[in-house]
Every structure is written in structure tokens, then in C-alpha cells.
Chain A
Amino acid sequence: MAKIANKITAAVTLAYIVFFGAATAFGNKSEVSDTENRRLAKLPKITAEKLYNGDTSKELGTYITDHFAGRSLWLSAKTALQTELSESIVNGVYVGKERLLDVEASHRAPISVNADIFSRYAENYDGTVYFAAIPASSGVYGDTLPAYIDNRSDSQQISALYDFLDSDIRKIDAYNILKMLKDNYIYYRNDTKWTSYGAYCVYKTVVKKLGFQPISYDKYAIEHVTDEFRGNLYNKTLSKKTEADIIDIYEYPEGAEVLTCVCTRADGSKFEGSLYDRSRLASSDMYSMYLGESVPFMRIYTSANTDKKLLVIKDSYADCFIPFLVQHYSEIAVVSPEDMEGSISDHININDYGQTLFLFGVENLGDRKTLEKIIERK
């Protein structure tokens, strides 16, 4: 009896393993994963050095993992299992009742060490520099996390950075504005980033500092372009426990219009862009609806009755923020160091612009190599 059972076990388990092994080895390999919104690993190239230190098999392991048959299903299953087994923390994301939160944020290196980059930028710049560091959702909603995870880190990180910044740089305390409004829909439930409404609340303060009166909320026509958005935290967990998010477009019908948007790709080619690219809503990366394809440079010309020009140096947090600014400037240049090659002065003369606004999420302020592109090379 036991012998037969063992034989059956052998046959069943081996058949199962061989099936999935073969399906993984011979199945179709796609380059990108839609559900995870990222590029998948490529088959490693074998070199003597990688064999020597064992990187080849590590890369092979990653390759097998990325292309494992039915990966998305396995990931969803993992999230469901993990939350039952122990705490609700899966792949570095806290799966809460209301929202997903990034818990790996507390392990980040201090960002204040990068303060000198911005101070050096200000030294070479004739105009005024404004700085807004935006907390991630885990910074604002950290109190819903288990107590042992250090959730105050975002506010501490920002205030430490502001302390080290040159005193000529005007700092915007986005953290406390957002913290006060945390009962509103200012952050996506499935993403680390803020919503358009969160951006609007900070915009009111920013634009006053820049020297304008903010447009009042009731003048906007707000359109919900989708209610099925699931962002970067969903991509890590594939958890559908939380509600999907809404993406909004704020139109100001009486205001200035965008005349043209000239986008420049990293290879130098130019094309006509727009503030909103609705075709992106059909893709796996819905958030890129704001400003469309990510490019290193974008120049927005508007019909606003002014000759003021603004330079915005930013990361993806600013994508939903920039549409609010177009009412106040005739030209806005948007620079994204992440997508840029070389340093900023190779492409643009920063002193053509009277004001510079730095707008970054805390999570992207630790990347020194990227940020260093905004200063002159010596």
C-alpha cells in the first residue's frame, strides 16, 4: 500500500516538475511584463569573468524566475498566501485594508548627503531656486504600518535635506501640507505617488512662493479619465485587495492654452508632445498619461499673457503637477535627469529661465549619479 502510494507520489511530482520546467524552458518569452510594468531579464551572456564569480548562474536564476510559466498567477498566489501566513508584508509592500504601502522606504540611505548638488546648482545660477521634496505615500500614511517599521523617515529625511540646502534656495514644506490633508484623496492607494488633488494642494503653496495667485479649485473642470489605475505597488504584489485608483485631469477652460509641447528624446530626435496622452490609458503604465512618453526634455509654450519662463527639474512625481503651472508662464522647460544623458549644460542654458523649481519624490532623491547630471562637470 505504502509502496504504491510512494510510486504515485514519484510519478505525480516528477510529472508536475517536468511540466512546469519544460513550459518555462520552451514557452514564449516576452520582453516586458504588463502586470509588473517592467522589463524582464534577458538570457545571460556567458563570459569567463561571470563564470568565475558565479554571476552566470545567478543571472540564469533570475531569467528562469522572470520567465517562469504562469508567473503572474504565481505572484498573486504568493500575495494571498503570505498575508495569511504572517504579517501583511509581501515583497517589501504592506498590504493594508485601504492601501498598499512601501515598507522598504525605511531602509533607504540618507538623502541629505546629496544636498551639495543643489547648492552647487544654485551657485552657477542667476535666478531663484525653489525646492519641493514630496514624501511617498508611506511617509504620509505611515501610522497605519506596524509600529516597528520606522514610518517617520520621510519627514525626517526631508527636514534633514532642507537643513543642508543652501539658504538661498526657497524650500517648500510639502510634507506638512499633505499630512494635514491626509483624509482626502491625495495619494493613490496602489502607488507611492500623489494624486492630482495632492499635487493641486501643494501647487497652491508653490505658486504663491513663485509669485502668483493660485487658480481656485472651483474653476477647474475635473474629468475622471479612468478608475482602473493600479500603480507601482500593485506591480510588486499583484494584490487586488485594495480598490483601484482614479486618475483625474484638471482643465481650466477660461485659462491660457498650451500652444505647443516640444519633446526631445535622449538620442536628440524631437516630436510634438502634449500634457496628456490618453492613449497611455490603454497601456500597463496608466500614470504615464501625464506628459506622455518619458523624455529628458520637454518645452511647453503657452498662450499665457506673460514673458516669464520656468525651468522644472523633476522626476515622475511632477508629471501630474506641471499641468497646473502652465497658467502662469509663457514657457516651461521640463528636465528629467533620469532620462537624460550627459549633463544639463550640454542641452540647455539654465540662465534663460528666471526661476528653477526642483520637484522630486523622496524615493528618487537618493540617486546621486542621476542627480549629479544637473551640475556642471569640472
Chain B
Amino acid sequence: MVYSSLLFIYGFLPVSILLFYITPKKLRELTLLFLSIIFCGMISLYFLIFMLAFTALNYGFSHLISRLRKNEKAAAIPLTVGIIIDLASLIIFRTDYFTRLHDFMRAPEGFFPVGISFFSLAAVGTLIDIYKGRIKAEKNIVRFSLYFMFFPRLIMGPLLRYGVFRRILDNRRETPANIGIGMTLFVKGLAKKVIVADDLYILYTAVQSQNVKEISAVTAWLGIIGFVLCLYFNLSGFADMGMGVAYCFGYRMPQSFNYPLVSTKIKYFAARWQSQVIQWLRRYVTKPLYGVCRHRWIKELVFVFGWTLFGIWYTFSANGALWGLLIGTAVVIESRITKRKIMDITGIIYTAFVIIICFVFIAGSSPAYSGRYLLAMLCGNGVIADSQAFYLLKSYIVLLLAAIYAASDLFRNLMTRSGKKKVKTVITAVSTLVVLAALIICTALLSYSGSSEMLIMKL
């Protein structure tokens, strides 16, 4: 079950909100755990067993580490074993090399533990934090289980440190207004996924199904712009839906994407794209390494390495690694060259250009294909535009422009910075109608197949 399905929106969501609010306040976390167990069980019973085992294992390890903490060397053993198990489960289920092991574990065909990229990293971080003494091992098994299984976080994170997650749980404020904010966020995410991402995905696949040695430059550009926007709207759409559902229960989770595509510097893009994962990598991988480095260029090398890991985390392939490597390098080069503040509009155009070039590598199936695609974008096939390019441009231009506007922070700025109170009043007044209309449109688009499970990347 995904958030963008009729079963979730019209079945699971209202039932879970109802159950949550009829239970006494003290027991509400337990209700959420119960709901999360149902959610996992509806993905498949095997997934539920997997999650329960994963949680129990990490619960055991975290307490073992905290018991042995007085003796650092002894505590290092459960830490190492725990990290190895967590990372191994990530690699085993994210890559295709271990199908025999899957059979051995009696996993159903095509089994993929939803959200493993997030909760396995979360588990590693928690074990390290306990070892370092930054947090104490959690005694409350309900909360610890929620950390991995809380269903609004399951599909697209955000990846949070245990300490942060506990603070969010402590600051629960369930009010009717929060449900309104939550529903607005949920519908926003749903619209991002169902209206924008799913349609742009058709554009991307239409271009991708062509022979890369024949496509015109305009077609190639349309394809890759479609891909970048589709990926952004897909990932951030799921993140928004999760955030929205959590908001309905009174939890305020941080956002993962802060309008990254329209940035004035590559540096800003790098800081705003799935920022929780970047922060995780900085905290547990690159920052400890920085401490050892003296020279600036070594630090820069570590930075690029961190981004390469991030790219690998996305796809577990050479393409993802190349993407990370390129973005990391671009940030480093930028910080060396540009000292002065550049003009906004120039900055936005140059950043978008660099980002698009980098994304060619994560979009392709192999580095060679991506290289060939890049050549096609530079008019390497000798055709600037053909009838197909005009057809695609005509079909998708409205959607693309709308998507670019939605990917920028122009609307939010209009809301927050507008001095005129009238604008704000009007927007607030119509917001309910807009949300309802968007929900109805999404339902119509979902009505044929019942769910839109297209995930451009399985995370």
C-alpha cells in the first residue's frame, strides 16, 4: 500500500485518524504503533515480520552497547556487528546480487522492504550515537518501534536522528487546525505525485524509448528536464504526504526538500536536496573524516566522497556514483571560483544548467548511455528539433511550465513576504476550496488503476 492509492486515502487514512483521536491521550503512541503494524502487514506479512525482527535486533544491540559502554573496546563489538547487519540488509535488498539469499530467507517473489534505505541508516546512526554517549538507549519499546515503523515516515523518511525523533514525539500537539495543515500538506504531496510526476514520467519514458543516436536536441532536453522534475516531484511528493499525515496526528517533522531546483548556487541546491540524508552523511561519515584532514583539498576530496556515497545510496550503481561525484565536484569548483555574490537570475540559470547536466548521469542506465545522451543534448545527432520534438513540446509545455513554477519558491514568497494583507486574506479564504479541488482531481486520476505506485527510485 502506498499513500497515493484509493485504499489509503479513503480507507486507511480516515480510519487511522478516527482510531487515533478516540483513544485516550496516554495511549495514542500505542495506537500509532498498532496502525503502523497494520500498515506494514498490508504491504505483506513477510515485511511485517522483517520489520519486527529488524526492530528487535536493533533494540537488543542498542541495550548491549549501552551496558558495555564503560569498557569501550567491549562495546565496540556489538556496535560493529550491529552496523554490519544493518548495512548488509540495506545492500542485500537494494541490489540484485542476492536473489538466492532471498529465496533462502523465504522472501516472496519481488520482495522489497519499503523504506529500507531510510531505516537502515537510521539504525546505524542510533547505534553510533549510543556508543558515543550522545543519547541513552531507549527503554520504551513502543517509541523505539515507532522510530522504524511509524507509517508516515516509512516510504520517504525523513531520515532523523533518534534524539530528534524523540523530541518530535514529545512535542505532539493535536489540534483541529493541525489536521487542516496536515491535510493541506498531504493533498499537496498527492498532487505533486499524481498530477505532475506521473505525467512527466510518461514524457521521460517516451523520450527514453527512442534510440539515443537518433533523437533531436530538443527532444533530449525535454526528456531530461522531464526526468529531473519528475524525480523531484516524486520524492518530495511522497515526503510531503508523509509529513502531512504526521501533522494530522500532531507531529511536526522537518521537510526533506526545500525548493532545491531553483537555487542561485549549486551549493544551495546541494544543501536543500533531501537534506536529512545529507546531514546524516555529514554527521556519521564526512565530519569524523574532516577532523583528521588538515589541508583544504583533502577536505574537499572528503566532501566529494560524501556526495558519491549519496549517489550510490540512490541507485546502487555506477550511474548514481557518477551523479554524486559530479555534483560534489561542481560544489567544490564553485566555492573556489565564485567569491562574489552573483546575480539572482544568472545564478538560477547556471545552477539549473549544471544540475540538469549532472542528472543525465543518474537518469541513464549506464555511463556510456548517459554520455551518448549528453551528446544528443548538444546536438550531436545533427538534428535540433524534429516533428516529434514539437509534438512533445506542444503536449507537455503547460505541464512543464506549471511544474517549474511549483518547483520554485515564488508562491511561498508571495505568501510570507507580501506586505499587502489583502493577498494573504484571499489566498487563505480560497485555500480550502483549492485543497478539495486538488483532492478530487487526484482521485479522478487515480480512479482507473486505484493507485499510482510508480516510484522512479525504490528507496
Contact = CB atoms under 8 A, between A and B. Distances in A.
Interface of A: 1-3, 5-14, 16-18, 20-21, 24-25, 51-54, 56-57, 60-62, 64-66, 68, 71, 74-75, 77-78, 81-82, 85-91, 146-148
A64 B395 contact: no
A53 B44 contact: yes
A62 B450 contact: yes
B42 A57 contact: yes
Contact of B5 (A11, A56, A61): A61
Contacts of A20: 10, 443
Given A5-B429, A81-B444, A18 B195 contact: no
B450 A65 contact: yes
B451 A61 contact: yes
Main secondary structure, interface of B, reads: helix
A345 to B, nearest CB: 36
A86 B203 contact: yes
Q: Which 8 pairs between the two chains have the least Cβ-Cβ distance? A: A54-B44, A65-B450, A6-B180, A53-B108, A74-B447, A10-B180, A9-B180, A10-B179
A209 B448 CA distance: 45
A91 B440 CA distance: 19
Interface in B1-28: 1, 5-7, 9-11, 13-14, 17
A10 B395 contact: no
B42 A8 contact: no
Contacts of B448: 75, 78, 90-91
B88 interface: no
Contact of A7 (B9, B108, B177): B177
B447 A148 contact: no
Contacts of B9: 17
B387 to A, nearest CB: 6
B441 A9 contact: no
A52 B50 CA distance: 11
Contacts of A146: 206, 388, 391
Contacts of B187: 13
A17 B431 CA distance: 17
B184 interface: yes
Nearest to B108: A53
Contact of A54 (B46, B184, B207, B425): B46
B14 A14 contact: yes
A78 B28 CA distance: 38
B14 A17 contact: yes
B371 interface: no
Interface in B23-47: 41-47
A29 to B, nearest CB: 15
Nearest to B47: A54
Nearest to B5: A61
29 contacts: A6-B178, A9-B181, A9-B184, A9-B435, A10-B179, A10-B180, A12-B435, A16-B439, A16-B440, A51-B41, A51-B44, A52-B44, A52-B45, A57-B7, A57-B43, A61-B5, A61-B7, A61-B450, A62-B450, A65-B7, A65-B449, A65-B450, A66-B450, A68-B6, A68-B447, A74-B447, A75-B447, A78-B444, A148-B210
Contact of A148 (B46, B183, B209): B209
Contact of A87 (B1, B202, B439): B202
Interface of B: 1, 5-7, 9-11, 13-14, 17, 41-47, 108-109, 111, 176-184, 187, 195, 199, 202-203, 206-207, 209-210, 387-388, 391, 395-396, 398-399, 425, 428-429, 431-432, 435-436, 439-441, 443-445, 447-451
Contacts of B203: 86
Contacts of A88: 395
Contacts of B108: 52-54
Nearest to B427: A5
Main secondary structure, interface of A, reads: helix
A86 B399 contact: yes
A59 to B, nearest CB: 10
B451 A7 contact: no
Nearest to A7: B176
A80 to B, nearest CB: 8
B45 A82 contact: no
Nearest to B448: A91
B7 A64 contact: yes
A71 B447 CA distance: 7
Given A5-B428, A13-B435, A148 B206 contact: yes
Contact of B11 (A62, A64, A147): A64
Nearest to A54: B44
Contacts of A14: 14, 17, 179, 183
B436 A1 contact: no
Given A54-B47, A57-B43, A10 B447 contact: no
A78 B43 CA distance: 27
B10 A64 contact: yes
Contact of B395 (A53, A57, A81, A87): A87
B227 to A, nearest CB: 15
B399 A13 contact: no
B388 A148 contact: yes
Contacts of A25: 11
A13 B5 CA distance: 16
Contacts of A8: 180, 432
A21 B11 contact: yes
Contact of A13 (B6, B47, B183, B441): B183
A85 B199 contact: yes
B109 A53 contact: yes
Given A51-B45, A65-B447, A77-B444, A5 B180 contact: yes
Contacts of A9: 180-181, 183-184, 431-432, 435
B202 A89 contact: yes
Nearest to B49: A52
A64 B184 CA distance: 24
A26 to B, nearest CB: 12
Contacts of B207: 148
A147 B184 contact: no
A15 to B, nearest CB: 10
B388 A61 contact: no
A25 B14 CA distance: 13
B177 A6 contact: yes
A78 B6 CA distance: 14
Contacts of B441: 81
A12 B184 CA distance: 11
A14 B45 CA distance: 29
A2 B181 CA distance: 10
B46 A53 contact: yes
Contacts of A52: 44-46, 108
